[in-house]
Structure 1
Amino acid sequence: MNRTTNIKVAGTYYYQGPNLFKSGLMRENSNLTLMPEPNNPHDKNAVAVYFQTHKIGHLNRDVASKYQALLFSNKVSRITISKCCLSNSGSSLDLHLAIHYEAEHTSINDCLSCKTIPNKAGVYEIRYRNEPCYVGSTSNLQKRCRQHSQTLQRGSHHNSELQNKFNNTAGEGLTFKVIKIAQSPEVAFSVEASHIKALLLKNTKLLNKTADGKGHAGGTQTGQAVYLQKRKPAQIIKIRTNAQTSIERPVQPKIPSDPPSTAPTVSKVMIITLTLLILVWIFA
């Protein structure tokens, strides 16, 4: 089973990546090389990232062991740059890799422990290392849990960031937690929206899609509309923050005002009539 995952490169500050990018030699879609470093004194699972003959960083420690094993097994087919730009200081890179590799053919299992989840409407979190990273609502919590579990294992989950997290950790540390049982899907959706807003106000970084794609409250300016991407257009909630009070209020539809009347008033009609009568009397 062929898969592609995106990973951010660490430690670019210490290498020549920024200079290579400034020179125009290194850009998006450029080919890269991953080199295992089992003798690295800091981490025996380290994997170095190279552009041509230049070392430009390392894979993050959290995912390095997985990709070192794939490299030793010759299961990595291609590595390219999916994103590359300078940091604000210009001394490091915001560099992301697209790693194409052959995943093991494993049977679909209950990786999120869905058997214990109730068959009821409600709100849930998918957590990573016991921290919320994705929030959802559904008419059937157990069924939705199984859908997440199956699509993640097949590599076809609709949320690419959540899929990347699953790919990079082989699902370890991901759990499905019920937040609230609801009387109906509509109630569940309302509770979900409130729960997401509460988490965003705490600067929790969620993988739910927002207008800026960052998934946290700091990504939008005061007064800017925020959209939470849902499965159906009818379920999209639009929220606008009041610039003066910072209270989030539902946007009210604009009611068009009536156009000003162009009909002459009664007083104008009377004046015109009297004027005509006087003129007729004078010239009679």
Structure 2
Amino acid sequence: MAEGTAAPDFQELARIARRVRQQIIIGVHAAKSGHPGGSLGAADIMTYLYFHEMNVDPKNPRDPKRDRFVLSKGHCAPALYGTLAERGFFPVEDIPTLRHVGSHLQGHPNMNDTPGVDMSTGSLGQGVSAAVGMALAAKLWGDDYRTYTLLGDGEIQEGQVWEAAMFAGSHHLDNLCVIVDNNNLQIDGTIEQVNSPYPIADKFRAFNFHVIEVADGNDMTQLAPAFEEARQTKGAPTAIVCKTVKGKGVSFMENQVGWHGKAPNDEQFEQAMAELAGEE
């Protein structure tokens, strides 16, 4: 784990997640485009992974022994960038260059340019297949790293997700942890209105996954036992289905589908930053 075997410091993790959310707002506002809603909702999951769960080293981002993370929902790159910057993979001063020409922080993650990015992603459904390949490689080569991948609940409408799940389950990839960010919203509305993937947990069970359901994926105290259980599970991959709030931490963005993919104006930026600065 990133912080050894010590118990999680939930207060410190919450403070880091707040800073990650601030970086998300700074980046998307500076870019005048991007995806704040899903990024804010996933900030706690990514913070827990990079600051407690995963074995990573910002000074050696290509360490072959590191744990891998694939952001399958690649449009939520602002959350990944904010997390990587806070973890020390690159300076936080780079965040305002999001989506600018010449920046290494583009609208979707690029493993060739951005330290800490393990897979270039963007086309929904494809990232989980790459993660399955990484997990399989570890098994074939006798490596003990773990692979984590974050999917959106709208993303799992993609058929390729279930092809990858079928393979992972049939090959007993217990070094793979698939996390579903279940905020119930996608660009066109609720996932039920667009193309319901429910019941999500039962579908993963049908593909031979060990499934853990987290009632509040924005609560570190609920994420901790879920990831511990995933790590202890043998003989099957794990799917952690996390209920989250899209736009979490910014009052006017929370559970609002319109904030899936637009930037705050100057007034909204100031309000969002003030709210995040006041979070406990």
* Greater per-residue strand proportion: 1
Asked which structure has the greater RCO (Cα within 8 Å, sep 6+), the reply is 2
* Greater per-residue helix proportion: 2
- The higher radius of gyration belongs to 1
